[in-house]
Amino acid sequence: MAMATRILLRELDTPNIHKMDVYMKNDGYEGLKKAIGMKPAEVIDEVKASNLRGRGGAGFPTGVKWSFIPQTEPVKYVVVNADESETGTFKDRQIMENNPHQLIEGAMIAAWAIQATAVYIYLRGEYWDVAAGLDKCIAEAEKKGFVGKNVLKSGWDCPMYTHLGAGAYICGEESALLESLEGKLGQPRVRPPFPAQKGGGLYAEPTVVNNVETLANVPWIMVNGAAEYKKFGTEQSPGTKVFCLSGHVKKPGNYEAPLGSLTLRQLIFDEEYGGGVPGDKKVKAVLPSGGSGPIIPATDEALDMPLTYEDMQKLGTILGSASIIVMDEDTDIAWVAAKVTKFFKHESCGKCTPCREGTYWLDKVLDRIMADQARESDIDLIANIAKNMQGVTLCALGDFAANPIIHTVKNFPDDFKRHVGETAVTAGGSARRGAAAPAGD
């Protein structure tokens, strides 16, 4: 079962891989050297051939994304999405803390592939220490000629900078991220033009935005080739993936494994992964993609489904960023819905009417439900509000905010019914996970 080769969490196999010398001794920056020996278009073709899919959530093929960049434009950017703010996601942090050079190298390969003018790493503001660490690594890489002026004597200049956000989940959405990087409110842009197009990217220049984990895969692909990479994972989901496991498991943490090589059951219960549920309780539900993806009941079918992009779809949910939150049998799913709604209400940027007003309204009704003050019709009401928020907003946050309601009400109706009408228990009576979330925002 155990993975001999880890691509991303390499510190587990090679201690101190975060240090330049250790990294260099272990194929470090070989991928970049190889890339710079190739034509940019060839690099893109190789990444395309690997069928690497974006790890930021949407799973878009990375090579294809790079190929959208018009080569004729003189100014172009690579922006690394290190905003990692989805509830239950903490993989990018680990990569940047423990294997930073691999991200830097991957970003530089992407930059070479599109002949970028500069690379910006946009980190969520809370990753203050991570950014400081990265800054040091970038400086080292610059000294070695991997970053900055005349990269590896190719005549190509490409500096790399970190930029700290300041507490806004929405800045993980790529166009909001670009706005934020330009010193504006982090509100998503109208598309088209898309970031890859002139007029749509950073400072209106064509821009590739990739997740940290996505780019950290790239050096390996360059060194070992697309064909080798595809040996991991499935046809549609090649490569390895870091699974962020949290919630009711004995050993929460990041676990890397080839896509499709693990089922949810293995991830939650196997000793080398989650090690089971505290108190050896049953699993009631799983959120495979953080707060924003559809929740699923922990049926045998679900637990035995391999973790891939395509298989999760069969269950009516998504793999997304693979932020797997486990909930045991005592969890009140209505409370989960209320909790996640608070998150989205707090994080809605406010630009689109349905998202701005809908999250506020949902939160109000859910407060009522959690206080056992609601009517039975309130359950239909939240389901309907959520439905009306779907598919009508500028960015996916509107849909993300609708998901927790739609899928909790659909899959766990009894958890809501317990709070309303005749059967309502007394307010706040549903034990620790039923306690109303802190008020305010």
Partner 1 sequence: MPNTVKIYIDDKEYEVPAGKNLVDVAKFYADNDIPVFCYHPKMNPVGMCRMCLVEMGSIEKDRATGEVVLDPAGKPKIRWFPKLQTACTTTVSDGLVIRTGTSQVEEARENVVEFLLTSHPLDCPICDKGGECPLQNLTMAYGPGTSRMNFEDKIDLDKHVPLGDLIYLDEERCIQCARCIRFQDEVVGDPVLAFHERGRSLQIITVSEPGFDSYFSGNTTDICPVGALTTEDFRFGARPWELTNIPSIDPWDAAGSNITLCVRLERDFGGKAAIKRVMPRQNELVNEIWISDKARWGHHFTRAEDRLQHPVVAGHNVTWPNALTVASDKIKAAGSDVAAIAGPQMSNEDLWSLRQLLAGVGSERLGAWPPTHAGADLLAQVGVGSGTNLGTLGKGDAVLVIGSDLEEEVPIWRLRVKRAHDHGAYLVVANARPTRLDQFGDECMQYGVGEAAEFMAELVKTPVGKQLAEAENLVIIAGAEGMTLDGSRALMQAAANFLISTGHVGKANNGLLSTLPGANGMGLHYMGFTPETTLDITQNPPKVLIIAQADVMADDPDAQEWLSRVETIITFGLFPDGASERAAVSLPIQSFAERDGTFTNGERRVQRFYTAQGPMGEALPAWQAVQRLGAVLGQGQAKPSAAAVMLEITQNVPGWEGCRFSQLAKVEKQFPDVGGHDLYYGGTAYKNFGGLGVQIASAAEQGKVSEGKVTSPKAAKAKILALPVTRLYNRERVLRASEADVLGPRIAQPFVEINSADAKKLGIKTGDTVDVKMGSAPALRARAHVDGIAPVGTVVVPRHLSDTAAPLAPAAVEISKVEG
Partner 2 sequence: MLADKYADRIETAFAKYPTKRSAVMPLLYIAQEEYGWLSPEAIEEVASLCDLDPTQVRSIAGFYTMYRERPKGKYWLQVCTDLACALKGADEFYEQLLEELGLDHENDTTEDGTFTVEHVMCLGACDRAPMLQCNFHFDPKYDRLDMEKARKLIEEWRSEAKKK
Binding site for partner 1 (CB under 8 A): 168, 170, 185, 190, 345-354, 356-361, 364-365, 381, 388, 391-394, 441
Interface pick for partner 2 out of 28, 59, 247, 288 (rule CB under 8 A): 247
Minimum distance of ligand FMN from residue 424's CB (angstroms): 34
179 lines the binding site for ligand FMN (CB under 6 A): no
Q: Using CB under 6 A as the criterion, which residues of the chain lie in contact with ligand SF4 when the complex forms?
A: 170, 187-188, 348-352, 355-356, 393-395, 397-398
CA distance 149 to 419: 63
Q: Minimal distance in Å, beta carbon 175 to ligand SF4?
A: 9
Q: Is 74 in the site for partner 2 (CB under 8 A)?
A: no
Looking at residue 123, its amino acid is L
Residue from 31, 88, 148, 172 binding ligand FMN (CB under 6 A): 172
β-strand pairing of 118-123 with 77-82: parallel
Question: Which residue from 23, 50, 69, 83 is in contact with ligand FMN, where contact means CB under 6 A?
Answer: 83
Q: What is d(CA 50, CA 67) in angstroms, rounded to the nearest whole number?
A: 14
CB of 42 to partner 2, least distance (A): 29
DSSP letter string, 49-96? HHT-B-TTTT--BHHHHHHTS-TT-S--EEEEEE---STT--HHHHHH
**To 10 degrees, what angle do helices 100-114 and 40-50 make?**
120
Q: Which residues pair with 76 in a beta bridge?
A: none
Q: How far is CA 326 from CA 83, 267, 333, 353, 414, in A?
A: 23, 10, 12, 32, 19
CA 262-62-95 angle, to 5 degrees, is: 60
Per partner kind, with CB cut-offs from 5 to 8 A, the member of ligand SF4, partner 2, ligand FMN, none near residue 192 is: none
**According to CB under 8 A, which residues from 106 to 125 bind partner 2?**
120, 124-125
The answer to whether residue 76 forms part of the interface with partner 2 (CB under 8 A) is: no
User: CB–CB of 51/230 below 8 Å?
Assistant: yes
Q: Which of these segments, 21-29, 79-87, 332-340, 406-414, binds ligand FMN (CB under 6 A)?
A: 79-87
From 90, 156, 194, 360, residue interacting with partner 2 (rule: CB under 8 A): 90
Closest CA to 114 of 70, 155, 54: 70
> With respect to partner 2, which residue has the nearer C-beta, 1 or 166?
166
Query: Which amino acid makes up residue 381?
Result: L
Return the one option of ligand SF4, partner 2, ligand FMN, none that residue 214 interacts with (CB less than 5 to 8 A, by type): ligand FMN
Q: Identify which of residues 218 and 394 has a Cβ nearer to partner 1 in the complex.
A: 394
